[in-house]
Amino acid sequence: MFQAMPMFGNGAMDLTFSPISARVRGANHKKTGIRCQDNYGIRRLDKMLIIAVADGHGSSDCKYSDIGSEKAVNSFCDIIEKICKSCSDLEQLHALLSRNKDDTIPTKICDEWNRKIERLHKKAHPDEDFDRLLYGSTLLGLAVCDQFVFAAQLGDGDILSVAANGSTDRLIVTERILGTETHSLSSDSAWITMYTTIKYFPAVGETPVLFMLSTDGMANSYATDEAFLLCGKDYADSIQQYGLEEVGKKLKGWLTETTEGGSGDDIAVVLAVSEAIIRA
């Protein structure tokens, strides 16, 4: 089932998937002077790409949520990297992720976030009482190789999977919370609200060609869900036609256009792109 793979290194070998990423501050925050609340993270290991996006809540109760989202993406990447490096091959990694995706892994990620923000708070604001809510954030993350993908989502945002024929689906379908509320890392027992999934690709032709992680400012900018999902195929087609580097250069400008013409919210996006379409 699995090819024997070497121990996970630091990306020295060719990745099956390559990332491009960008984040922009939304029109609303530019007007009010609030910092961009969205962050992204990328970790390259041999044959494994780890990516994450997070959206700080940005309300007056959450005045450090830009830091919260930064620590969120770091927490996901740190924990998943640690898990990868604890495994000798992909088969072992797949088994470990499958067994622990519903409880242990969400708990570890949330605990790591709590540790990071509490440590930072005590150092940066020693005279201020610590409250997780100050750093409230969502978190979406994904770890992918050519044989499987693991994904996790806590709060709003989207994880899209694009097949070779361009059809696009959400990798994780969460309950839709109306308005501006979302599940949060800062909630009690936040790990319970983290959705996870792991999908194995049985044949080369069945491996998705692109994954897209985006914070909710992205989807909220499109007139319909269909208009948003079209992003998947369009990004894949553009990369195939113009190359990864060219599309990477355009990404920030597109996100700026998107927030200005749409939701006005901050946006962070990371794409994981298969070599199958980069070298096509």
Partner 1 sequence: MAKNIKRPGGELASRPLHFIWIVDRSGSMHGEKIQTLNFAIRQTIPDMRASADDNPNAQLLIRSLKFSTGAQWINATPISVNDFEWNDLDADGVTDLGKACELLAEQLKIPPMSERALPPVLVLLSDGQPTDNYKKSLDELKALPWGKKAVKVAISIGEDADDNVLAEFTGNRELVLPADNPQALVKMIKWASTLVKQVSAPSSKRDGDAPVVVDMDNIPDVSSDADVW
Is 187 a binding residue for partner 1 by CB under 8 A? The answer is: yes
Distance CA 212, CA 26 (A): 19
Binding map of partner 1 across residues 200-239, x = CB under 8 A, - = no contact: ----------------x--xxxxxx-xxx-xx--xx--x-
The answer to whether the beta carbons of residues 128 and 120 sit under 8 Å apart is no
| Contact with partner 1 (CB under 8 A) among 19, 68, 106, 136 | 136
User: CB of 232: closest distance to partner 1 in angstroms?
Assistant: 8
Stretch of residues binding partner 1 (CB under 8 A), selected from 71-79, 196-204, 246-254, 272-280: 246-254
| Contact with partner 1 (CB under 8 A) among 88, 204, 261, 280 | 261
Strand partners, 274: 17
Is 62 a binding residue for partner 1 by CB under 8 A? The answer is: yes
The answer to whether the beta carbons of residues 13 and 45 sit under 8 Å apart is no
| Contact with partner 1 (CB under 8 A) among 50, 80, 247, 268 | 247
Q: What residues between 116 and 135 interact with partner 1 by CB under 8 A?
A: 133
Residue from 182, 186, 183 nearest 134 by CA: 186
Is 280 a binding residue for partner 1 by CB under 8 A? The answer is: no
User: CB of 186: closest distance to partner 1 in angstroms?
Assistant: 6
The answer to whether the beta carbons of residues 213 and 269 sit under 8 Å apart is yes
The answer to whether the beta carbons of residues 113 and 191 sit under 8 Å apart is no
Cβ neighbors of 124 (< 8 A, separation 6 or more) are none
The answer to whether the beta carbons of residues 37 and 65 sit under 8 Å apart is yes
Stretch of residues binding partner 1 (CB under 8 A), selected from 10-18, 39-47, 143-151, 259-267: 259-267
The size of the interface with partner 1 (CB under 8 A), counted in residues, is 58
| Contact with partner 1 (CB under 8 A) among 23, 25, 47, 57 | 57
Cβ neighbors of 119 (< 8 A, separation 6 or more) are none
**Closer residue to partner 1, CB minimum distance, 9 or 253:** 253
Which helix H or strand E contains 210, and what residues bound it? Answer: strand 210-214
The answer to whether the beta carbons of residues 207 and 188 sit under 8 Å apart is no
| Contact with partner 1 (CB under 8 A) among 176, 189, 203, 279 | 176
Is 33 a binding residue for partner 1 by CB under 8 A? The answer is: no
Is 264 a binding residue for partner 1 by CB under 8 A? The answer is: yes
**Closer residue to partner 1, CB minimum distance, 96 or 230:** 230
User: CB of 222: closest distance to partner 1 in angstroms?
Assistant: 6
CA distances from 54 to 120, 199, 216 (A): 18, 22, 10
First to last CA, the chain: 26
Tokens (6 digits) for 10: 């630091």
Interface with partner 1 by CB under 8 A: which residues? 26-28, 31-32, 37, 55-60, 62, 133, 136, 138, 156, 176-184, 186-187, 216, 219-224, 226-228, 230-231, 234-235, 238, 242, 246-247, 249-250, 254, 257-265
